[in-house]
Structure 1
Amino acid sequence: MNKRIYLSILMLCTIFMLFSSCSYKLSLNGQSIPPALKTIDIQYFENNAPLVVNTLSQQFTEALKNRIRSQTNLTIVRGDADASFSGAITGYSIAPVSIQATNPNSPPIAGASRLTITVNVKYSYNVKDASPADKKLSFEQSFSKYKEYTGDLNNQEQGLIDDIVKQLIDDIFNQAFANW
């Protein structure tokens, strides 16, 4: 009889821990997507920066779509949607952040440089009959991230862009869905 009670208690504890861990995991991602939000339109982010990298618009737009697909249950649609992302890449700049010592007869060179990408994002929450709190979820904001590097940019530019785009997508996603 004691074994039966012990096994029953053990089984109940296991089930409780299983369900507890599931709900804990769901709350860890920090998402606060309103239940009425089912579809989203992610428009193409044009590159309007003074320096243009040909693949950056497509890379940024696809990275945002992939994040939405992998982290939410939202359906990406074209046109009429419960919410939408639009915007443009407005900055792509390279600037020195430190000067490397050289001999007195030669010009100074950059010891380290910084690649900065800036994106203007408009997020519109369009659900009909949304609560006043949900309507405040819309925003238009500029996001900027950078990565420092040394040496020749050409050999590492794509890796730097990948890292910066990931950071930008994290910030945009958190602003839209985590309310941080």
Structure 2
Amino acid sequence: MKKIYSLFALLSLFMLSSCNVYNFTGAKPIDAKTFQVNFFHNNAELIEPGIDRDFTLALQDLIMNQTNLNLVSNGGDLVYEGEIIDYRTTPMTATAVTSTGEAGAAQNRLTIRVAVRFTNKKKEADDFEKTFEFYYDFQGNQLPTGSILNDAIKTIFERITQDIFNESLAKW
């Protein structure tokens, strides 16, 4: 019976020690202990106030929630920086001409594009400079304000920050 307990303990120890290869978020182990996310300025032609702050915080939160890295304000092993370079609403589908002779958009799309520079001070081969973009479609008779805008920005930022995470830490 003692041998069974010893074998079970040895197998448990082996299984626990192998857990550092991958975790549930898909992030692969790295030598880094800290990360920093510099403020992402909004350099788009059309400015939506506050999205620069919201994006910066969304990226920080995602990395903190999906890794065991510590957020620092400077000197991080991993550095994320960049800017919001495009914020635009475009019509996607036209409606038929009405009795008043007007045509409109049946569907509009809000698109946000972010340029990111990632630096891994522990492994320079992982550094990259890349643009990430996503969109949100909404009805043509609605304006991108209030809850529609909040939902759109939340959806877009969730996708872009996850794409940045995957590119920098998950290597997908």
Q: Secondary structure at the match of 2:44?
A: coil
Structure 1 residues 69-122: Cα deviation after superposition (integer angstroms, max 9, x where no partner)? 111111111221212010000000000010011325422100001100000000
Determine if the alignment matches structure 1 residue 164 to structure 2 residue 164: no
Structure 1 distance, partners of 2:166, 2:104, is 38
Matching residue within 63, 70, 77 for 1:75: 70
Determine if the alignment matches structure 1 residue 139 to structure 2 residue 135: no
5+ long unaligned stretches in structure 2: none
Structure 1 distance, partners of 2:38, 2:91, is 33
Structure 1 distance, partners of 2:71, 2:24, is 24
Matching residue within 98, 102, 127 for 1:103: 98
Structure 2 distance, partners of 1:107, 1:25, is 60
Amino acid in structure 1 at the alignment position of 2:26: G
Matching residue within 40, 43, 52 for 1:45: 40
Q: Of the two, which has the highest radius of gyration? A: 1
Q: 1:148 to 1:101 in 2, by over 3 A?
A: same
Structure 1 distance, partners of 2:112, 2:21, is 32
Identity of aligned residues (%): 27
Amino acid in structure 1 at the alignment position of 2:155: D
Amino acid in structure 1 at the alignment position of 2:28: S
Determine if the alignment matches structure 1 residue 34 to structure 2 residue 30: yes
Amino acid in structure 2 at the alignment position of 1:141: K
The root-mean-square deviation of aligned C-alpha atoms, in Å, is: 2.5
Q: Which runs of 4+ in 1 moved over 3 A?
A: 22-28
Structure 1 distance, partners of 2:127, 2:20, is 28
Stretch deviating more after TM superposition (112-121 or 145-154):
145-154
Matching residue within 8, 19, 28 for 1:23: 19
Structure 2 distance, partners of 1:46, 1:174, is 22
Amino acid in structure 2 at the alignment position of 1:53: E
TM, length-normalised to structure 1: 0.81
5+ long unaligned stretches in structure 1: 128-133
Structure 2 distance, partners of 1:125, 1:25, is 19
